[in-house]
Amino acid sequence: MPELPEVESVLRALTDLDPSFPGRRVREVRILRPSAVDGPVEQFVKELTGAVFHEILRHGKYLFFRFTAHCATSSRWMVLHLRMTGRLFLVQANHAVQRHTRFYLLLEDELALRFDDPRAFGRVWLVDSPKEVTGRLGPDALAIGHDGFLRQLAQQNRQLKLLLLDQSFVAGIGNIYADELLFRAGLHPLRVSGSLNHNERERLFSSMHEVLTQAVQAKGANIDGVFEAGSFPVAVYKRNGQPCRNCSSMIHKERIAGRGTHYCPACQPAV
């Protein structure tokens, strides 16, 4: 938490709403918690002061902000990973500091980009190219197409839960959406990818695509109050002990791949 749909909703809030973030110049950089910056803080402040931001991209759970530093001719990128509880907001400058604000960028027009993070695991850093980060990630789980996904899958022979959490397989899925899409696909999390038949492989792809698309439309899932605007209705995640919405069997919780895993034993048979 947050996973691909929540990160995408942060991106859309910064780009699609009015006012929007791209195109704005940074007047001042304030770091309230230096550990939020990966790398030398002085360099981060120096490079971003006076910089202009151009666009925001997402790959998996990472956000990439392209900017041009003051007097520079070529672009660089600010990378942000929200980790457990990070959030970004474009706010009025007089709302730039809250209790859990870790850093903020004061912008033109009395606006500020504010990074809040109660658990303080989120990180920001600067790179020459997004490839420095995406090079070790698989294709984005929402952007990958049917054929590309099946090619990726054909190279694997691992338990589905473990595979879906592996960011080098596809990037962006975490514990919530791995459980949700396996439920949608009717596949047990301990099934091994190499044992899936043609129909099951097709269901895995279509369920992943459907669940992520619907979750993006719903602005993510509100789990434990972290993404309070998200309205994606989870079917199994943290619903252990409650009846399955398909068949009324009790949703189970079990530790798989080191993570609490939620599934319906009737809808998701082990074999």
For this structure, is 131 an active site residue?
no
> For residues 104 and 237, which CB has a smaller minimum distance to Zn ion in the complex?
237
For this structure, is 2 an active site residue?
yes
> For residues 35 and 249, which CB has a smaller minimum distance to Zn ion in the complex?
249
> For residues 28 and 254, which CB has a smaller minimum distance to Zn ion in the complex?
254
The Cα 183–Cα 264 span in angstroms is 7
* Phi (first) and psi of residue 153, to 5 degrees: -65, -35
What's the Rg (C-alpha) of the chain? 20
Helices (H) and strands (E) in the chain, counts: 7, 10
> For residues 61 and 188, which CB has a smaller minimum distance to Zn ion in the complex?
188
In whole angstroms, the minimum distance from the beta carbon of 37 to Zn ion comes to 46
In whole angstroms, the minimum distance from the beta carbon of 245 to Zn ion comes to 8
| String of DSSP letters for 83-115 | TTT-EEEEEEGGG---TTEEEEEEEGGGEEEEE
Taking residue 203's Cβ as centre, other Cβ atoms within 10 Å add up to: 18
Single out the catalytic residue among 33, 46, 76, 259. Answer: 259
Single out the catalytic residue among 2, 5, 130, 139. Answer: 2
For this structure, is 42 an active site residue?
no
Please give the structure tokens belonging to residue 96: 């730039």
Single out the catalytic residue among 24, 58, 61, 114. Answer: 61
Q: First-to-last CA distance in the chain?
A: 30
| CA triple 249-193-157, angle to 5 deg | 145
For 128, counting Cβ atoms within 10 Å of its Cβ (0-12 exposed, 13-18 middle, 19+ buried), the class is: exposed
- Footprint of Zn ion on this chain (CB under 5 A)? 244, 246-247, 249, 264, 266-267
In whole angstroms, the minimum distance from the beta carbon of 238 to Zn ion comes to 16
Single out the catalytic residue among 3, 6, 8, 47. Answer: 3
In whole angstroms, the minimum distance from the beta carbon of 250 to Zn ion comes to 9
Nearest CA among 77, 107, 84 for reference residue 94: 107
* Angle, helices 198-217/146-154, rounded to nearest 10 degrees: 130
> For residues 243 and 258, which CB has a smaller minimum distance to Zn ion in the complex?
243
In whole angstroms, the minimum distance from the beta carbon of 185 to Zn ion comes to 13
Q: Catalytic residue numbers?
A: 2-3, 61, 259
